[in-house]
Structure formats: structure tokens, C-alpha cells
Amino acid sequence: MQSPIEQLHRDCEALGTRLFTVSILDRANGLSRRAYTSHPVEYPAQGTKPMLDDAWFDHCIRQAQYFLANTPAEFEQHFFDHALITSMGLGSALNIPLADSGGTVVATVNLLAEALHFTPERLAAYLSLVADSRDAVLGDRLFSGLQG
């Protein structure tokens, strides 16, 4: 039986996502911790990235708004690993924040695909999938094991 995160991964993959990760915010240590990955070699589970107080953080974490970049030029200033992303043939990114019951963003669902993948129709479908699975994902054993 698939976990809620694994099911969300499969559902997003069916829509065309080629790289899927879920990251948990470790605010106490200023880190974003990867709880799940579709690509364990390039993006290992439990890998970390520093949480930078930048425009992406303000938009996606503080304001709890999704971040969409449909070309590498739109995400390269925000993602230090943009060269790895593009080397994998990926050219668009969608980060969807997950907030707890109090409205605090505690994680992000990160979806990457080829450039221009996120049409308005696909964007709506992804946002709906994540919203519909939010409670299950936040309660997932893979997620809860990394909360700090």
C-alpha cells in the first residue's frame, strides 16, 4: 500500500511531473529537509538546503503562495542548484506550500518538468491534487519522521 506522499507522487507523475520532492521546513535549524524524492541519486531523501531569507522564501513560505517558473530563466535566480536541474532536462518548477492547521507553512511539494509544462490547466490540476491530499500528506509517516 502506498503512503499518501507516494500516492501524490504517482498522481503528479501521471500529469507529467518528472522530478517530485517534498521538503519539510526545519525553522529551528534554518534548513529545508527533503522528506521524499523521486530521484534519490540527484536529490537524496533527508538531504538539506539552507532556508534563505529571499524573495522565494517571502513569496512561498511567508505568504504561503505557490511559486511557478516555466523556464530556467525564471527559476535560476532562486535555485542554487539550477545547473543540476537543467542538466536533467528540466525547465519548469512549481513549489506548493503546505500549511498546518494554524496556517504556518511547514513543508513544500516541489514539482519539476520540461520547460513550459505548467499550463493554466495543469497548474489548476496540480494545485487541486495537493490541496485534496494536504491532510493525508501532513500525517504521512515519511513526513512525521522528519518533523523537528
Name the strand (E) or helix (H) holding 123: helix 120-138
pLDDT score at 46: 84
Residue 39, number of CB atoms within 10 A of its CB: 13
CA distance 30 to 51: 5
Length of the chain: 148
pLDDT under 50 in the chain at which residues?
A: 146-148
Residue entry with cell 517558473? 69
Closest to 95 (Cα-Cα) out of 125, 132, 133, 57: 57
CA distance 44 to 127: 25
Report the SS3 class of residue 81: coil
Residue 35 CA: distances (Å) to CA of 16, 21, 83, 86 = 21, 7, 22, 22
Domains and CATH numbers, the chain: 4-144 (3.30.450.40)
Residue 16, number of CB atoms within 10 A of its CB: 16
Sheet hosting strand 105-113, strand order edge to edge: 48-50, 31-37, 19-26, 105-113, 92-99, 67-69
pLDDT score at 142: 66
pLDDT score at 1: 79
CA distance 71 to 44: 24
What does the DSSP 8-state code read for residue 29? Answer: G
